[in-house]
Amino acid sequence: MIKREFKVNFKSFLIWLSILIIIFLIVYLLYPYIITDDTVRNIDEMMKIFPTEVLKAFNMDIASIETAYGWVKTEGVMFILLITGFYSSILGGNILLKEENDKTIEYLDSLPIKRNKILTNKIIVGITYILLFTIIFGLFNYICLNLSGDFSQKQFMLLSITPILVGIPFFAFNLFISTFMHKTKKTIGISLGMVFIFYIISVISELSTNIEFIKYFSLYTLAGTRDIIANTTMNSLNIFISIGISIIFIALSYIRYNKKELL
Amino acid sequence: MNDVIVRLKHLKKYYGSARGIKDVSLNIHKGEIYGFIGPNGSGKSTTIRTIMGLINKTDGDIYINGVKLDGESIEIKKIIGYLPSEINLYDDMTVKQALDYHELFYNKDLKKRRNELVKLLKIDENKRIEDLSLGNLKKVGIVLALMHEPEILILDEPTSGLDPIMQSIFHEILIKEKEKGTTILYSSHVLSEVSSICDTIGFIKDGVVIKEDSIDNIKKDNYTYLKITTKEIDKVKKELNLKIIKESNNEIVLLNTMNINELIDKLSKINIDRLLIEEIPLEDLFMNYYK
């Protein structure tokens, strides 16, 4: 069964991974032509116009976009986290619910297999794909950055791990939400909306110290990219919270799925 | 009786205040074919899905092999073969892949029985599930329900989409299953479809099992049509007090549910020109339950 799960979910994995790779490939290929002495001067001028809070929201106060790696630390990491968020959320929302949406659950649930086993298989496949997504994209990024110039390898490694800290909780949260639904159409909207809302919360929280507390309402805070870029360290608390949130929502999904009416 | 394999006791299922099933009690004995008859929306599929654990019962008890079902049971699922009314399989698979996939869930070799059924039902294993017609999909569903040689077969409207020849082959398969000792719950809204192979019939109406009896007893019921020609139509109505099927000037057709002696006694009080007593067809009897 698990083999089939990998096969069924491979296509969306490939599509989302390709989207991210294509975006980055375009940037890496064009960057040497975009970033010249003149454009760097223009960017510097432009940066002076922006308030510090706005620059902070995009890590531009602690990183420069003069190099490809600089772009990764600012806008690049934003793309990585957003797209991993989308992929993980949609995967979590669909992986289990697809059986109900396609009405194959009536067949699957009549087989001698426990619902817990069905769920466990789907969770293993989902998490494996999120890890593979991060690893494969990290490798791609590593090769491209190696070709484009010097960069901090430790910092890059830490930044490359951050999508996992966000992706798995997104997956677990949406998996839990999906146990209340019967159609995937509804969960896709919820998944995408949630990623946007959490991302906007994390950006807004950087705009003023007065509203900084709202960052605790966003899963994107778990990425902790500012710490990594500024200090080349990862806040271990974020790792524990990410694991904790994932465990809680996965446990709730088991409880809920065992009681769920499947038709 | 101790050979009851499937027993439902006052099973209820409500969706909020909406009725799924109100009171379903039935007993299916080992090795019998039980016809579960009712019109569309009467609660047949809800009952079956509750037995299968796909939906949760609101109240009542389900016993399989004497064991009260309370939550999931892999052991019970292993001995059940289930054919839903609308079969939905994985579209991306071929028939062969679907049958291979099914085999993975049972720790025994299913090849022999699988091949027999595929041959009997004339199934092309190389076709993709998404390309199958409704009838061919149903045939694959039949193989899936039967290939692990279950002790209990639960079939929900199994012949919908099958042509008459295939229906006949399917019924022959079921009779052979019965001979092997398999217990079969056969749901249908067409009585004539099941009356030839069933041992017992349970009629369900508006979520309630209104009658459960052996097919022989049902046929033995003294239900007859009385066609009476008389000038005393009003007296006939008053004396007999039976359900009127048809009425014209001097002729009335009634559904007789009285025993024959009582009937003769009452008829003797009426001046009758002509009397015709006909056996009621099973289909009409079925319709009578639902009027």
Do A93 and A187 touch, CB atoms closer than 8 A?
yes
The whole-angstrom separation of Cα A50 and Cα A48 is: 6
Residue B115 has pLDDT above 80, yes or no: yes
The whole-angstrom separation of Cα A192 and Cα A10 is: 20
Query: pLDDT confidence of B2, banded at 50, 70, 90?
Result: low
Query: In order of start, what are the domains of chain B with their CATH numbers?
Result: 4-87+143-213 (3.40.50.300), 221-290 (3.30.70)
Mean pLDDT of A18-43: 85
pLDDT of A202 reads 87
Residue A39 has pLDDT above 90, yes or no: no
Query: pLDDT confidence of B49, banded at 50, 70, 90?
Result: very high
Q: Which of A56-60, A70-74, A78-82, A134-138 has the lowest mean pLDDT?
A: A56-60
Contacts 24+ apart (CB under 8 A), B68-73: B72/A114, B72/A115, B72/A258
Q: Give the burial class of A243: count Cβ atoms within 10 A of its Cβ; 0-12 exposed, 13-18 middle, 19 or more buried.
A: middle
Q: pLDDT above 90 covers what percent of chain A?
A: 59
Contact yes or no for B84 and A107 at CB 8 A? yes
Q: Which residues contact B218 (CB under 8 A, 6 or more apart)?
A: B201, B211, B282, B285
The whole-angstrom separation of Cα B201 and Cα B36 is: 6
Of residues A251 and B288, more confidence is placed in A251
**Per-residue pLDDT tens for B213-236?**
888 887 776 578 899 999 999 999
The whole-angstrom separation of Cα B250 and Cα B239 is: 16
Residue A153 has pLDDT above 80, yes or no: yes
Query: pLDDT confidence of A136, banded at 50, 70, 90?
Result: very high
Contacts of B105 in chain A (CB under 8 A): 1, 111-113
Contact yes or no for A4 and B105 at CB 8 A? no
The size of chain B, in residues, is: 291
pLDDT, mean over chain A: 90
- Distance from the B133 Cα atom to the nearest Cα atom in chain A, whole angstroms: 17
**CB-based contact, A255 to chain B, within 8 Å:** no
Beta B59-64 vs B67-68: how paired, if at all? antiparallel
pLDDT of B282 reads 65
Residue B92 has pLDDT above 90, yes or no: yes
Nearest to B154 by CA among B195, B187, B112, B106: B187
Can you give the residue ranges of every domain in chain A?
2-259
Q: Which residues of B touch A (CB under 8 A)?
A: 49, 52-56, 72, 74-75, 77-78, 80, 82, 84, 86-92, 101-102, 104-106, 144
pLDDT of A203 reads 84
Contacts of B64 in chain A (CB under 8 A): none
Query: pLDDT confidence of A193, banded at 50, 70, 90?
Result: very high
The size of chain A, in residues, is: 263
- What stretch of H or E contains A214? none
Nearest to B55 by CA among B69, B41, B75, B38: B69
Contact yes or no for A263 and B56 at CB 8 A? no
Residue B1 has pLDDT above 60, yes or no: no
Backbone conformation region of residue A237, classed left if phi is above 0, alpha if psi is from -120 to 50, else beta: alpha
The whole-angstrom separation of Cα B77 and Cα B281 is: 38
**Per-residue pLDDT tens for B134-143?**
999 999 999 9
Query: pLDDT confidence of A52, banded at 50, 70, 90?
Result: confident
Task: Give the Å distances, CA to CA, from A47 to A31, A74, A200, A225, B78.
Answer: 18, 13, 21, 20, 68
